[in-house]
């Protein structure tokens, strides 16, 4: 950790420290959403609804592969930040080496398990006869490239955990830029359609992973990719997995929720799936901005938890105010121009109407979704594995029964509104748990008193 990063961890005014850690993360995550939106845009130029449907159907698979990266990356990253606060630098090297090599192994396991089961996976994703072939092409490429995707999400978290927020952002933006360039080439020059889009994603993740590995090997003072520092001790495994497993479970639940939601939406036609696919990508932009804010401050919260709890309290308070301000701004924009946003991807009037409606409904929960993400970040940063695990399952447990009831009571509208209800329940559970931990996290709990 260089002197500048240490200054922002320990001494800089809270607003400046939050900006230092969060803005690069917000920019990086927003660029990732831009890439996802452009993926849909490039495929949309082919005027094939089945391709857009396939792109939407494969979101759960990508969520699971990403979850494996976050399992190791967030679990190791929060542990590294706490170790830096305690000045245990050799332990940081052991953890970072463990994260690097275990991520590659997880990716290889995905290939070994996924390829023999590819047809059941595609059927399980809800592919229709029209979209089956496109969905299978995408799944095949993502499975083969999973080691690089897992590694990318792991290393992004590891680099950010030592305070190198700008380096973390640079890697994310590099991935997006490479992806966009390759998307344009495979669609307009090579005419590879959806298999080209999937390949572009994998290659972009590989390039960014190489960038992060170079930083860890040659630029970082404490992080390393050297195999000689690899250790899988009981202490490392316990600290990584007590936070990483809840993150993985949460991500799997999000993927499962998307899968279940797609199955409900398929009953209302491919247009409903495509409309949700487009609107969900647009919703990802403000969601990922808020996620970038909340995840960006996690290293600062983790470091302060072991070094200065008053600073942790002030960091959380400032972040809540920032979430509120951003949610209001994004909400106003969406309610004013939602039709135009959906119209960027399709000229189908029914798709525009359905997509705009989904945006209006789901944006209602943007603020509480942001706070819920912050609650999870607090639990991760402070090593509260049980609370993080509870948060990881509550939204999924809520959404499934709500979906069944709402679908029977109000059809398509009920399916969409069930997302808001599940978000509200997750927020309330998170707030209650944060209050219940007030003896251990008094500065954080005071914010809800």
Is the model's pLDDT at 265 over the cut of 60?
Answer: yes
Question: For 178-183, which contacts have Cβ atoms below 8 Å and span 24 or more sequence positions?
Answer: 178/203, 178/204, 178/207, 178/208, 179/35, 179/39, 179/203, 179/204, 180/34, 180/35, 180/38, 183/35, 183/38, 183/39, 183/42
Q: Distance between CA 43 and CA 115 in Å, rounded?
A: 25
So what's the pLDDT on residue 444? 43
Output DSSP code: residue 163. Answer: T
So what's the pLDDT on residue 5? 65
User: Among 203, 147, 155, which Cα is nearest to 35's?
Assistant: 203
User: Among 275, 422, 426, 420, which Cα is nearest to 361's?
Assistant: 420
SS3 230: coil
Is the model's pLDDT at 449 over the cut of 70?
Answer: no
Q: Distance between CA 114 and CA 136 in Å, rounded?
A: 12
**In this prediction, what percent of the chain has a pLDDT beyond 70?**
93
For residue 356, give both structure tokens: 């705009």
pTM exceeds cut of 0.75: no
Q: Distance between CA 329 and CA 335 in Å, rounded?
A: 10
Average of per-residue pLDDT across 154-165: 86
Cα distances from 364 to residues 154, 176, 288, 334, 401, in angstroms, run 31, 28, 16, 11, 21
Is the model's pLDDT at 448 over the cut of 50?
Answer: no
* pLDDT tens profile 182-232: 988 888 888 787 888 889 889 999 999 999 999 999 888 889 898 888 888
Q: Distance between CA 315 and CA 335 in Å, rounded?
A: 31
* pLDDT tens profile 11-65: 788 888 888 888 887 877 776 667 666 777 777 777 677 777 777 777 778 878 8
Is the model's pLDDT at 102 over the cut of 90?
Answer: yes
Is the model's pLDDT at 306 over the cut of 70?
Answer: yes
So what's the pLDDT on residue 419? 83
Average of per-residue pLDDT across 368-373: 87
Ramachandran category for residue 384: left, alpha or beta (phi over 0 → left; psi -120 to 50 → alpha): beta
So what's the pLDDT on residue 445? 43
Average of per-residue pLDDT across 103-109: 94
Is the model's pLDDT at 323 over the cut of 80?
Answer: yes
So what's the pLDDT on residue 98? 93
Average pLDDT, the chain: 82
For residue 153, give both structure tokens: 């999400």
Question: Do the beta carbons of residue 368 and residue 227 sit within 8 Å?
Answer: no
User: Among 162, 40, 151, which Cα is nearest to 100's?
Assistant: 151
For residue 240, give both structure tokens: 């990584």
Q: Distance between CA 30 and CA 170 in Å, rounded?
A: 12
So what's the pLDDT on residue 447? 45
Q: Distance between CA 302 and CA 140 in Å, rounded?
A: 38
Query: Which residue matches tokens 């320990």?
Result: 10
Q: How many residues does the chain have?
A: 449
Q: Distance between CA 395 and CA 257 in Å, rounded?
A: 9
Q: Cα dihedral sign for 106, 107, 112, 114?
A: positive
Rounded to the nearest 10 degrees, the angle between the axes of helix 132-144 and helix 49-57 is 40
Question: Do the beta carbons of residue 162 and residue 80 sit within 8 Å?
Answer: yes
Q: Nearest 5°: CA angle at 126, between 403 and 56?
A: 85
- Residue 250 C-beta-side C-alpha neighbours within 13 Å: 26
């Amino acid at each position: 950790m260089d002197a500048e990063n240490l200054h922002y961890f320990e001494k800089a005014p809270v607003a400046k420290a939050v900006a230092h850690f969060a803005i690069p993360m917000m920019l990086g995550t927003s660029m990732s959403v831009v890439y996802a939106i452009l993926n849909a845009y490039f495929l949309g130029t082919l005027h094939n609804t089945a391709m857009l449907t396939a792109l939407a159907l494969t979101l759960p698979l990508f969520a699971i592969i990403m979850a494996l990266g976050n399992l190791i990356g967030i679990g190791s990253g929060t542990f590294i930040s706490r170790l830096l606060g305690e000045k245990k630098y050799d332990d940081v090297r052991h953890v970072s080496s463990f994260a690097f090599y275990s991520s590659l192994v997880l990716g290889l396991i995905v290939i070994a398990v996924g390829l023999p089961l590819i047809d059941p996976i595609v059927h399980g994703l809800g592919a229709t006869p029209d979209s089956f072939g496109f969905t299978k092409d995408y799944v095949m490429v993502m499975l083969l490239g999973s080691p690089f995707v897992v590694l990318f999400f792991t290393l992004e978290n590891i680099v950010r955990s030592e305070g190198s927020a700008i380096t973390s952002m640079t890697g994310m933006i590099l991935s997006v830029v490479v992806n966009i360039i390759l998307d344009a080439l495979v669609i307009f020059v090579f005419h590879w359609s959806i298999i080209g889009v999937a390949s572009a994603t994998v290659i972009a993740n590989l390039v960014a992973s190489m960038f992060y590995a170079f930083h860890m090997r040659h630029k970082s003072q404490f992080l390393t990719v050297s195999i000689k520092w690899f250790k899988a001790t009981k202490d490392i495994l316990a600290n990584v997995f007590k936070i990483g497993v809840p993150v993985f479970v949460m991500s799997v639940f999000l993927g499962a929720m998307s899968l279940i939601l797609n199955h409900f939406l398929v009953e209302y036609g491919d247009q409903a799936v495509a409309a949700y696919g487009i609107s969900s990508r647009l919703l990802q932009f403000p969601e990922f901005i808020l996620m970038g804010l909340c995840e960006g401050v996690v290293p600062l919260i983790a470091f302060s938890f072991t070094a200065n709890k008053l600073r942790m309290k002030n960091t959380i308070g400032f972040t809540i105010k920032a979430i509120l301000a951003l949610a209001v701004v994004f909400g106003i924009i969406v309610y004013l121009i939602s039709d135009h946003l959906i119209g960027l991807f399709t000229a189908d009037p029914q798709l525009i109407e359905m997509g705009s409606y989904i945006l209006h409904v789901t944006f209602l929960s943007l603020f509480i979704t942001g706070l819920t993400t912050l609650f999870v970040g607090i639990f991760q940063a402070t090593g509260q594995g049980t609370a993080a695990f509870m948060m990881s399952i509550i939204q999924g447990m809520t959404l499934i029964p709500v979906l069944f009831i709402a679908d029977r009571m109000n059809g398509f509208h009920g399916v969409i509104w069930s997302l808001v209800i599940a978000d509200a329940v997750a927020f309330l559970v998170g707030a209650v748990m944060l209050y219940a931990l007030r003896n251990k996290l008094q500065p954080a709990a005071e914010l809800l008193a």
